[in-house]
Amino acid sequence: MKYKIINFGCKVNTYESTYFEEVLIKDGYTEAKEVKDADVVVINTCSVTNVADQKCRKFIRRLKRENDKAVIIACGCSVQNNGEEYQTYGIDILLGNHHKSKIPELYKEFLKTREPIVLIDSNRKQEFDDMLLNKFEKHTRAFIKIQDGCDNFCSYCVIPLLRGSLRSKKFETVIKEAKTLADNGHKEIVLVGIHTGSYNSDGKDLVDLINEISKIEKVKRIRLSSIEITELNDKFMETLKNNKKLVSHLHIPLQAGSNEILKLMNRKYDKKYFKDKLELIRSIRPDINITTDVIVGFPQETDELFEESMEFCKELEFGKIHVFPYSIRNNTKASLMEGHVKEEIKKKRALQLIRISDILQCTYEKKFLGKEMTIITEKNHQNEIVGFTDNYIKVFVRDANFLNSNEEVIVKLDSWDEKYIYSDFIKKGED
């Protein structure tokens, strides 16, 4: 029996899809090269934008044409958001965002009865849906999903309606999972969630979790998928100062560089607050890589407000900007606002900001030319050695095919192009 997992969307989805894969492998399944060869296909969907929704629906329609014999399991945000439509596609098991951990047992139930299963629960109050991983087979960095849900209700975002309210994995469970992943060879742990900084388990917060995981000897790096600027409190700053396993890279969403637009977005800070926090972070770790998300073409964003946002991004010297044209999501406050921006203007603004991001990334990475840095190795599709520094610079290592994946090595960064920083191998690091 063969499986295929198709993952759309965020790092939380990646974690969940890896869990599905681990269970299927344990039950004796092997991975199909193509979806047309699979006996079961699991699609973990995304609904963060209209484009994401369209990709998911288009893929499932194509799958039904190419492989009408496979058992199809679809779950996730797009299903949660468009449940009635998905029920017309002839999908065998259809789940929203809750009960994903039950997929293995629901699949076995379906094989017995061959009766379609639909579970789309719209209740925001849910228990944390526990999944535990032993190994990330296709990644050197191991993700742990520590949190789900969001209560921020930014005016553009439908995720709080689709993922439900805040909830966290038990502290002891996260530590157990981190130890297992480390014992199985993962040197870097990435803590992921929908609103990661809100983590709370019986009074223990994200900083407590970081500090406890850092006690695991085999864990060399701890990385966060994302964190809100409002969650970078004094306790976090103290850990940033003293905990060397917490990497020198933070992804902090800005979303807009205009106070007027930030207020319309229902973000919980203004430009001064954001800038002051970044200055504090850089006073603690001067070489830290701070990356961000920015939405362009939000309702009522004029040319002048967009220019203001671009200039603010330049001023903050991000290491990279992930740019998103605003996407109307039903049932959000922004969808009802006046002053929606034309699609062609959104696209033009997105390209402008992407060009700025490329310049900022180049400027940041070139600062490290000539320096010796540690990377954890990976093999790319050409079986060549690449790797990431702790501040998330992607490095290509010349003439290093003798190295394996997941090794700590010291390299010297000596040249740069639009794709990589290039380096020469110096020596293996200390385990």
Confidence (pLDDT) at 38: 96
CA distance 146 to 348: 37
Range in 9-18, 212-221, 262-271 with the lowest mean pLDDT = 9-18
In a domain? residue 131? no
β-strands 289-296, 320-325: how paired? parallel
**Residue 21 belongs to domain with CATH number:** 3.40.50.12160
| Cβ-contact 45, 75 below 8 angstroms | yes
Residue 165 CB coordination number (10 Å): 13
Q: Which of 339, 364, 389 is the last residue of a domain?
A: 364
Whichever domain contains 405, its CATH number is 2.40.50.140
Q: Which domain holds residue 262?
A: 141-364
In a domain, 201, yes or no: yes
Phi, psi of 78 (to 5 degrees): -65, -40
Query: Does 70 share its domain with 153?
Result: no
Q: Are 252 and 261 in contact (CB under 8 A)?
A: no
Q: Say whether both 289 and 390 belong to one domain.
A: no
Q: Residue 137: its pLDDT value, please?
A: 77
Average pLDDT over residues 121-147: 89
Task: Quote the percentage of the chain above a pLDDT of 90.
Answer: 85
Examine residue 271 and state whether it is found in any structural domain, yes or no: yes
413: pLDDT strictly greater than 90: yes
Cα–Cα distance between 259 and 248 in angstroms, integer?
28
When divided into structural domains, the chain yields a total of 3
pLDDT band at 136 (very low <50, low <70, confident <90, very high): confident
pLDDT digits (tens, 9 = 90+) for 372-400: 999 999 988 788 899 999 999 999 999 88
In-domain check, residue 124: no
In this structure, the answer to whether residues 396 and 413 fall within a common structural domain is yes
What average pLDDT does this structure show over 245-270? 98
- Residues paired with residue 190 on neighbouring β-strands, in sequence order: 143, 223
Question: What confidence category does residue 98 fall into, taking pLDDT thresholds of 50, 70 and 90?
Answer: confident
Give residue-wise pLDDT tens across range 317-344: 999 999 999 999 999 999 999 999 999 9
pLDDT higher than 60, residue 431: no
Per-residue model confidence (pLDDT) at position 334: 97
Residues 147 and 284 in one domain: yes
d(CA 199, CA 215): 19
Classify residue 182: in a domain, yes or no: yes
Say if 129 falls within a structural domain. no
Per the structure block, which two tokens stand in for 283? 């006073």
